[in-house]
Amino acid sequence: SQQGEEDPQALSIQEGENATMNCSYKTSINNLQWYRQNSGRGLVHLILIRSNEREKHSGRLRVTLDTSKKSSSLLITASRAADTASYFCATDGGSGNTGKLIFGQGTTLQVKP
Protein backbone atom coordinates (compact mmCIF):
# COMPACT_ATOMS: atom_id res chain seq x y z
CA SER A 1 0.00 0.00 0.00
CA GLN A 2 1.02 3.60 -0.37
CA GLN A 3 3.32 5.13 2.23
CA GLY A 4 1.13 8.21 2.41
CA GLU A 5 -2.60 8.02 2.79
CA GLU A 6 -4.56 11.24 2.46
CA ASP A 7 -7.82 11.93 4.16
CA PRO A 8 -10.39 12.87 3.03
CA GLN A 9 -10.28 11.60 -0.54
CA ALA A 10 -12.47 14.49 -1.64
CA LEU A 11 -13.36 17.82 -0.08
CA SER A 12 -15.77 20.49 -1.27
CA ILE A 13 -15.92 23.91 0.38
CA GLN A 14 -17.01 27.47 -0.31
CA GLU A 15 -14.56 30.19 -1.24
CA GLY A 16 -13.22 31.87 1.88
CA GLU A 17 -13.46 28.78 4.04
CA ASN A 18 -10.46 26.88 5.33
CA ALA A 19 -9.53 23.47 3.93
CA THR A 20 -7.75 20.83 5.97
CA MET A 21 -6.24 17.69 4.51
CA ASN A 22 -4.52 14.94 6.44
CA CYS A 23 -1.81 12.47 5.56
CA SER A 24 -0.66 9.38 7.40
CA TYR A 25 2.45 7.39 6.66
CA LYS A 26 3.98 4.16 7.86
CA THR A 27 7.76 4.31 8.07
CA SER A 28 10.25 6.76 9.53
CA ILE A 29 10.95 9.83 7.45
CA ASN A 30 13.52 12.55 7.01
CA ASN A 31 11.00 14.96 5.56
CA LEU A 32 7.46 15.17 4.24
CA GLN A 33 6.32 17.25 1.31
CA TRP A 34 3.00 18.44 -0.05
CA TYR A 35 2.34 18.81 -3.76
CA ARG A 36 -0.56 20.22 -5.74
CA GLN A 37 -1.82 18.97 -9.08
CA ASN A 38 -4.16 21.02 -11.21
CA SER A 39 -6.31 19.09 -13.64
CA GLY A 40 -4.28 17.93 -16.61
CA ARG A 41 -1.00 19.19 -15.20
CA GLY A 42 2.06 17.83 -13.45
CA LEU A 43 2.55 18.00 -9.71
CA VAL A 44 3.94 21.17 -8.22
CA HIS A 45 5.84 21.30 -4.95
CA LEU A 46 4.16 23.40 -2.25
CA ILE A 47 6.02 22.97 0.99
CA LEU A 48 8.47 20.69 2.79
CA ILE A 49 8.63 19.99 6.49
CA ARG A 50 11.53 18.18 8.08
CA SER A 51 11.16 15.46 10.68
CA ASN A 52 12.47 17.74 13.44
CA GLU A 53 9.92 20.45 12.66
CA ARG A 54 6.37 20.52 13.99
CA GLU A 55 4.83 23.35 12.00
CA LYS A 56 5.62 25.37 8.93
CA HIS A 57 3.92 28.23 7.12
CA SER A 58 4.04 29.47 3.57
CA GLY A 59 1.57 32.17 2.65
CA ARG A 60 -1.92 30.76 3.17
CA LEU A 61 -0.52 27.27 3.74
CA ARG A 62 0.13 25.78 7.13
CA VAL A 63 1.63 22.31 7.51
CA THR A 64 1.95 20.36 10.74
CA LEU A 65 3.85 17.19 11.38
CA ASP A 66 3.43 14.73 14.24
CA THR A 67 6.10 12.08 13.93
CA SER A 68 4.80 10.19 16.95
CA LYS A 69 1.50 9.66 15.14
CA LYS A 70 3.12 9.46 11.71
CA SER A 71 0.75 12.07 10.40
CA SER A 72 0.72 15.48 8.77
CA SER A 73 -1.92 18.03 7.93
CA LEU A 74 -2.14 20.73 5.30
CA LEU A 75 -4.34 23.73 6.04
CA ILE A 76 -5.25 26.19 3.32
CA THR A 77 -6.75 29.32 4.82
CA ALA A 78 -9.18 31.67 3.11
CA SER A 79 -9.51 29.33 0.15
CA ARG A 80 -9.98 30.59 -3.38
CA ALA A 81 -11.49 29.00 -6.45
CA ALA A 82 -7.96 28.78 -7.85
CA ASP A 83 -7.05 26.39 -5.02
CA THR A 84 -9.24 23.75 -6.67
CA ALA A 85 -6.82 20.89 -7.33
CA SER A 86 -5.62 17.57 -5.99
CA TYR A 87 -3.17 17.63 -3.11
CA PHE A 88 -0.63 14.90 -2.41
CA CYS A 89 1.69 14.24 0.46
CA ALA A 90 5.02 12.57 -0.24
CA THR A 91 7.64 11.12 2.04
CA ASP A 92 11.18 9.96 1.53
CA GLY A 93 10.43 6.84 3.57
CA GLY A 94 13.64 7.40 5.48
CA SER A 95 15.48 6.53 2.29
CA GLY A 96 18.49 8.59 3.17
CA ASN A 97 18.62 11.28 0.53
CA THR A 98 18.21 9.07 -2.53
CA GLY A 99 15.76 11.54 -3.99
CA LYS A 100 13.03 8.90 -4.18
CA LEU A 101 9.61 9.94 -2.86
CA ILE A 102 6.54 7.90 -2.05
CA PHE A 103 3.28 9.66 -2.88
CA GLY A 104 -0.13 9.14 -1.35
CA GLN A 105 -3.38 8.80 -3.25
CA GLY A 106 -4.25 12.46 -2.91
CA THR A 107 -7.15 14.63 -1.75
CA THR A 108 -9.28 16.29 -4.38
CA LEU A 109 -10.29 19.77 -3.26
CA GLN A 110 -13.07 21.72 -4.87
CA VAL A 111 -13.51 25.35 -3.88
CA LYS A 112 -16.81 26.76 -5.01
CA PRO A 113 -16.95 30.46 -5.86
Partner 1 sequence: DAGVIQSPRHEVTEMGQEVTLRCKPISGHNSLFWYRQTMMRGLELLIYFNNNVPIDDSGMPEDRFSAKMPNASFSTLKIQPSEPRDSAVYFCASTLQGGLTDTQYFGPGTRLTVL
Least Å distance, CB 15 to partner 1, is: 27
Q: What is the pairing mode between strands 55-58 and 43-50? A: unpaired
Least Å distance, CB 8 to partner 1, is: 15
With CA atoms as reference, report the closest residue to 26 among 99, 89, 97, 109. Answer: 89
Question: Which of residues 42 and 59 has its CB atom nearest to partner 1 in the complex?
Answer: 42
Q: Classify burial at 51, counting beta carbons within 10 Å of its beta carbon; exposed 0-12, middle 13-18, buried 19 or more.
A: middle
Q: Report how far Cα 58 is from the mean position of its chain's Cα atoms.
A: 13
* 15 and 80 Cβ atoms separated by less than 8 Å: yes
Question: Which of residues 15 and 47 has its CB atom nearest to partner 1 in the complex?
Answer: 47
Least Å distance, CB 17 to partner 1, is: 26
Name the residues that contact partner 1, by CB under 8 A.
2, 31, 33, 40-45, 48, 88, 90, 92, 97-106
Identity at 67, one-letter amino acid code = T
Question: Which of residues 44 and 81 has its CB atom nearest to partner 1 in the complex?
Answer: 44
Question: Which of residues 41 and 112 has its CB atom nearest to partner 1 in the complex?
Answer: 41
